[in-house]
Amino acid sequence: MNRTSRPLGLIAIFVVLVLAFDAHPRSAPQPRPKSDPVLGERIAEGVVLDGRLWLRGTLGKNTFGDRSGGLVSLGLADESRRVHFERNVLSVVKDGRDLWVLRWSSLSKRKFVVSRWRSGSFEDVGEFESFKGDVPLALLTNGGAVTVLTESTIRVLTSNGEWKSVPLKNRLRLGIQSAIASPTLGGRIYVGTNNGEWGGGLQRVDLRSGAVTKIERRDGKGLCDGPLNSDCDPVTGVIADPQMKECVLASVGLVHLFTSSGRILRVCEEKVTVISEKSVSRAEKDKRKMTEAFFGLARAAEGGGFWAITWRALYRFDADGHQEGEYALPKLKPVSGIYLSHELPGAVVVRTDVNWSVSTSGYTPLVIPLDSSRP
């Protein structure tokens, strides 16, 4: 074998091994979809409000940034599709009966607009200008206040429509994907970073001072000792803890080559507790110790619990973190070009390859809680 053919042969063997590894049995294998003309290459987030499923897309690998897609809604009863914004939507969040959207202004790439859904249409309620390299990361409703977190600033929309800004004391560690949430009591924002095999970790932002704190728990001296290690643990989801109002829940998940690891954590200030960790094997004869990778969390609409999703199953937990149910991923059906299912009790499952961009997990769907007050 000559010098040229040897690397090509090794690459071919490597590709075959990776494909064989990722060809594990799935409950609902799906064909690769075409890019949606509005949502782009992958669906980044969604909510259910007023009997409609609202979905935000992204045009690239990142779930935020200047390659943002648009916003569409699908009727859960009649499957009607509406396009609300064709491009430039950065974040969508539901707060009670309100739906808030953060988007780029159509007039300038340095301007951003916050809009609210009211009486069948969006109304703009706030606008701000940002400098280069300070792209907004998330829109939150923190204690009733509309809050925008950027790479270096916290902006809070006051009741008179003006912005109050707090600069971050030190810069956030960002990655390919970010999961961001605030505890019910407010006052803090937790930023989970997902860099796949390169880790990610969790950071806490103080809304008053702008201080940024890295949250970790390493139970040993090994390189990847956890359960929360920014060098090795990609944080794939963060939600407000339904049980403890000053805390958040965070999911960790990575499927890489021939390994799988993950867990669900409760984080209160700087205290990190494991509330769920499941042993799993990727093949019948595989004796290695591995844990199931969790790729997202969502508050349940009823009962005070939450949902967690992996590459093979959907789990329902009560508010204390005790597992209440396990469901195989349902077969997804096309609805106006989007593959989804609302057969499971209390949740809609939507296909996306957003996790696949940093993990060999395949199409791990988004789980979106139903609106408990929907018609």
- The CATH number that applies at residue 221 is 2.120.10.30
Q: Does residue 188 sit within a domain?
A: yes
- Range name among 66-70, 344-348, 357-361 with the lowest pLDDT average: 357-361
Q: Does residue 264 sit within a domain?
A: yes
Strand partners for 290: 280
Indicate if the pLDDT at residue 217 is higher than 70.
Answer: yes
Q: Does residue 278 sit within a domain?
A: yes
Residue, of 258 and 150, whose pLDDT is higher: 150
Position 372 confidence tier, pLDDT thresholds 50, 70, 90 = low
Q: Does residue 285 sit within a domain?
A: yes
Q: What is the mean pLDDT of residues 331-355?
A: 85
Q: Alpha-carbon distance 162 to 174, whole Å?
A: 28
73-106 confidence digits (pLDDT tens): 999 999 999 999 998 999 999 988 889 999 998 8
Within 13 Å, how many C-alpha atoms sit on residue 54's CB side?
A: 19
Q: What is the mean pLDDT of residues 290-317?
A: 90
Which of 346, 355, 340, 354 minimizes the C-alpha distance to 72?
Answer: 340
DSSP line for 265-299: EEEETTEEEEEE--EE-SSTT--S-EEPPEEEEEE
Position 229 confidence tier, pLDDT thresholds 50, 70, 90 = very high
Total of domains in the chain: 1
Range of the domain at 270: 174-328
Q: Does residue 155 sit within a domain?
A: no
pLDDT at 7: 42
Indicate if the pLDDT at residue 238 is higher than 90.
Answer: yes
Residue, of 146 and 159, whose pLDDT is higher: 146
Q: Does residue 217 sit within a domain?
A: yes
Strand partners for 85: 71
pLDDT at 359: 63
pLDDT at 363: 63
Name the range with the highest mean pLDDT among 242-246, 311-315, 335-339, 354-358.
242-246
- SS3 call for 345: coil
pLDDT at 228: 97
> Beta 200-206 vs 294-299: how paired, if at all?
unpaired
pLDDT at 59: 65
Contact call for residues 178 and 190 (beta carbons, < 8 A): no
Q: Alpha-carbon distance 115 to 126, whole Å?
A: 7
**Sign of the C-alpha dihedral, residues 81, 94, 202, 137?**
positive
21-37 confidence digits (pLDDT tens): 343 434 344 445 566 88
CA 268 to chain centre: 20
Tokens of 149: 């977190």
Dihedrals phi, psi of 139, to nearest 5 degrees: -110, 130
Indicate if the pLDDT at residue 251 is higher than 90.
Answer: yes
Contact call for residues 207 and 142 (beta carbons, < 8 A): yes
Indicate if the pLDDT at residue 273 is higher than 60.
Answer: yes
Q: 308-340 burial string, b = 16+ CB within 10 Å, else e?
A: bbbbbebbbbbeebeeeeebebbebeebeebbb
Q: Does residue 231 sit within a domain?
A: yes
Alpha helices in 141-217 (DSSP H): none
pLDDT at 66: 47
Q: Alpha-carbon distance 124 to 115, whole Å?
A: 4
Q: Does residue 82 sit within a domain?
A: no
pLDDT at 33: 53
